[in-house]
Chain A
Amino acid sequence: MTNAPRPLSLLCEITYRCNLQCPYCYNPLNLAGYRNELDGDTWRRVVNEAADIGVLQVHVSGGEPTLRPNEAIGVVEAASARGLYTNLITQGTFLDDALLDRFITAGLEHVQISIQAPEAKLADRIAGTNVHEKKLVAIERVMKRGIAFTLNCVIHRANHDMLPQVIELAERLGVRRLELANTQFYGWAFENRAWLMPTRAQVRAGERIVAEARERLAGRMQITYVLPDYYEEFPKPCMHGWGNAFMTVAPNGDVLPCPAAASITSLHFDNVRERPLREIWESSDAFVAYRGTAWMPEPCRSCERREIDFGGCRCQAFALLGDAGATDPACAKSPHHGVIAAAVEERPPETFVPRRMQTTTPS
């Protein structure tokens, strides 16, 4: 029984460890539950199994993937040997010349480095440590090599008003691709949602600022800016459909249809240590559960947009409604859309919960 579509992209989460403590991280809250990390040989096998079933692109991320440089470089090597496109997603604090050399020699094609804000004071407060200046050095280092590069900044209430300065910084650095990524509320970001949620006025201003910058910088800089789905009429087409083109392998080897899927406790996820990747993709319970359109309830089932936004995000439906099979409440047609409206109006707390390995101290 295999009418599974062809997977195109694999996200390798090499580790969930990170030296930063950003409150908008989508990683799971129980970071300590992922300490049993896959070894380098297993990662290479996973990449080869992915290439065998059609994957064309490998993203290397985490946590901070360069905390395990040998494993991260091994993934790039194995992917390049099969002709796959490779992308390193990093916060850059360990990316010195020697490490960069190793990645480039291994065949790396693209690097994405994220900053927390356009200036050190706020950036370092968000990151929980003094790293902003170090990141700027890493960015310049990457750009000097001529390897394709994207600057990423995760956007939320505390830095939303600084969009013009983020764009200015990107211009000053000579960046060709800038991603202004509105916070997606999963994992730590969901925990910190009220603190991170931008105001309606900020979102409106952001649209204007980005439109103006796109026009002014046309042909020089590509700017990606996706509106937060809490402020949109329709949900985001999450993963372009569950089990449709993307898969994620978590640090412990669990295979996830979406990087945030481990939050759906009603599903069981198979592990690359126990089953071949092909089997997991084609027929494991978790991948089959919400693949296609047959699982959809109303109003999705009869909606003309069912193959445009695929019912939205399963993780969001589970987080907000406790049912991963419900219509994403971000959709204005959802009978539970009120929970989104309420979240937008929530009063932000004074401060945020930093992302940490141990959070649950027994009380």
Chain B
Amino acid sequence: MNASATVRLAPGVRLHQEEGGVAFLLIPEGVVELSPTAVAIVELLDGARTLDDVTQLLAERYDASPDELRSDVDQLCAEFRSKGYLR
């Protein structure tokens, strides 16, 4: 996906987080368990931040290199968009 693209959870899709780091995406026909990495990314997708912004924020938060994170962000967003979780 384009680094300047902006996405957010699609209508009818909602993030559900529980104590202990357990998290799920609630979608119209089901429940999808999310990894901690996926949660960190999804939380930042507000429809205003670009994928580049999200990568930068995560790099600062986890003290990691943006280059490594970029492919995580890109892959997850591409996959979730093709499944209709993101718009």
Contacts and interface: CB of A to CB of B under 8 A. Distances in A.
Interface of A: 8-9, 56-57, 83, 85, 87, 109-110, 112, 146-150, 176-177, 179, 218-219, 222, 224, 245
Contacts of A110: 12, 28
Contacts of A112: 28
A56 B16 contact: yes
A57 B30 contact: yes
B28 A56 contact: no
28 contacts: A8-B24, A9-B31, A56-B16, A56-B24, A56-B26, A57-B30, A57-B31, A83-B16, A85-B14, A85-B16, A85-B26, A85-B31, A109-B12, A110-B12, A110-B28, A147-B11, A147-B12, A148-B10, A148-B13, A148-B28, A149-B12, A150-B28, A176-B10, A177-B12, A177-B84, A179-B29, A222-B83, A224-B29
A112 B83 CA distance: 18
A110 B27 CA distance: 9
A161 B14 CA distance: 36
Interface of B: 10-14, 16, 24, 26, 28-31, 81-84
A24 to B, nearest CB: 18
B32 to A, nearest CB: 10
Given A57-B26, A179-B29, 6 more contacts: A8-B31, A9-B31, A85-B16, A147-B12, A176-B11, A222-B84
Contacts of B11: 146-148, 176
A193 to B, nearest CB: 24
A224 B31 CA distance: 16
A222 B78 CA distance: 14
A85 B12 CA distance: 9
A345 B84 CA distance: 36
Contacts of A148: 10-13, 28
Query: Chain A contact residues: over half helix, strand or loop, or mixed?
Result: strand
Contacts, number: 48
A57 B81 CA distance: 22
Contacts of A218: 82
B44 to A, nearest CB: 21
Looking at B13, B16, B30, B82, the one whose CB has the most chain A CB atoms below 10 A away is B30
A177 B26 contact: no
Contacts of B24: 8, 56
Contacts of B14: 85, 109
A87 B28 contact: yes
Contacts of B29: 87, 150, 179, 224
A8 B83 CA distance: 20
Nearest to A7: B31
Give the 3 A-B residue pairs with the shortest CB-CB distance, closest first.
A148-B12, A222-B84, A85-B26
A245 B31 contact: yes
Contacts of A147: 11-12
A9 B26 CA distance: 10
A150 B29 CA distance: 10
A110 B84 CA distance: 14
Nearest to B81: A219
B31 A177 contact: no
Given A110-B12, A148-B12, A177 B30 contact: no
Most chain A Cβ neighbours within 10 Å, of B10, B11, B26: B26
Nearest to B14: A85
A9 B30 contact: yes
Contacts of B81: 219
Contacts of B13: 148
